[in-house]
Amino acid sequence: MKYRVLIFSTLFLFLIGCSSKDDTPQNSPPAEHIKYFGFTLVDTFWDDPTDSDTKSNYNDEVAPFSNMADILVVSPTDNIVDRMKAMESLQMKSVLHLHELFFEVEGTNAPSGTDYRLRTDAQERWDMFLGLNSLYVNQDLVQVLYVGEEPTWNGISFSELKKVSDYVKLTIPGITVMVVEAYPALNDFQIPASVDWVGFDHYFIKDPKNDATFISELNVLKSKLSEEQNLILIMDTHYIEFAHGDFGEIALEEMASVANSYYELAKSEPKTIAILGYFWPSGFDDVSAIGARHMPTEVQQEYSRIGKEITKK
Confidence (pTM): 0.91
Backbone angles phi, psi at 177, to 5 degrees: -115, 135
User: Which pLDDT value is given to residue 25?
Assistant: 52
Q: What is the pLDDT of residues 190-232, one digit of tens each?
A: 999 999 999 999 999 999 999 999 999 999 999 999 999 999 9
- The residue extents of the domains of the chain are 29-311
Amino acid at 222: K
More confident position, 252 or 13:
252
CATH class of 29-311: alpha beta
What pLDDT, on the 0 to 100 scale, is given for residue 179? 98
Give residue-wise pLDDT tens across range 194-203. 999 999 999 9
How confident is the model over 164-183, as a mean pLDDT?
A: 97
Q: How far apart are CA 174 and CA 61, in angstroms?
A: 30
Cβ pair 147, 97 in contact under 8 A: no
Bridge-based pairing of strands 93-97 and 272-278 is: unpaired
Q: Cα separation of 150 and 82, whole Å?
A: 28
The percent of residues in the chain predicted with pLDDT above 90, rounded, is: 90
Q: Which pLDDT belongs to residue 26?
A: 64
Residue 244 CA to residue 255 CA, distance in Å, equals 9
